[in-house]
Structure 1
Amino acid sequence: METLKVSTRSNPNSVAGAMAGVVRSSGGVLVQVVGAGALNQAIKAIAIARGYVAAGGIDLVCVPTFAEVEIDGERRTAIRLRIQDRAIAGDATEAQMDAAAASRAV
């Protein structure tokens, strides 16, 4: 699953467009953020992306998890937001979601 890294300076409209494109093509995307400002931009982008994909019958859901990442030699706690279509989310494994997304690809 593709990972988009969002920072405090990221433009929510641009991030939303990238999210929508990846979700349409593969069924889901991971968004990684470090810090409150980056999380704020990512959440705004998710709200915007929901509007972009809704007309195509895609209902986005967001599943947050913590992750340890290394930035400039320093370990930091990141938040990863798994953004995917509710129709393929459920209790499916990542492999099942990838297969479902591949079958939807146009």
Structure 2
Amino acid sequence: MEVLKVSSGSNPNSVAGALAGVIRESDQAEVQAIGAGALNQAIKAIAIARGYVAPGGHDLVCIPAFTEVEINGSDRTGIKLIVKSR
């Protein structure tokens, strides 16, 4: 599954375009975010991507879960959003 990493400085439109491309190819993707700002950008990107792929017959659903990510040698808890087309 393709993993897209989002930060608080990510452009939601750019992430949405990447997410839409992955969804069109494989019908699912994982979006990872650490922190409230990054999660905000990720949710906005998913909402935008939903509009991008809807004309092609894709309806996006999002499944949130926790994940452990290693950053600079330390483990951090992040949110992973599994995005699937139904």
Q: TM-score w.r.t. structure 1 length? A: 0.80
Residue identity matched to 1:72: N
Gaps of 5+ in 1: 87-106
Partner residue, 2:49: 49
The count of aligned residue pairs is: 86
Q: Does 1:25 align with 2:25?
A: yes
Task: Quote the Cα distance in structure 2 between the aligned partners of 1:17 and 1:84.
Answer: 15
Report the alpha carbon displacement of residue 37 of structure 1 after superposing the two structures with TM: 0.2
Query: How much has 1:73 moved relative to structure 2?
Result: 1.0
More helix by share: 1
- Name structure 2 gaps, 5 residues minimum: none
Higher-strand-fraction structure: 2
What is the 5 A alignment of 1:1-106?
1-86=1-86
Q: After TM superposition, which residue ranges in structure 1, 4 or more long, deviate above 6 angstroms?
A: none
3-state SS of paired residue (1:69): strand
Task: State the superposition RMSD in angstroms.
Answer: 0.5
Question: 2:56 aligns to what SS in structure 1?
Answer: coil
Percent identity of paired positions between Structure 1 and Structure 2? 70
Larger Cα Rg: Structure 1 or Structure 2? 1
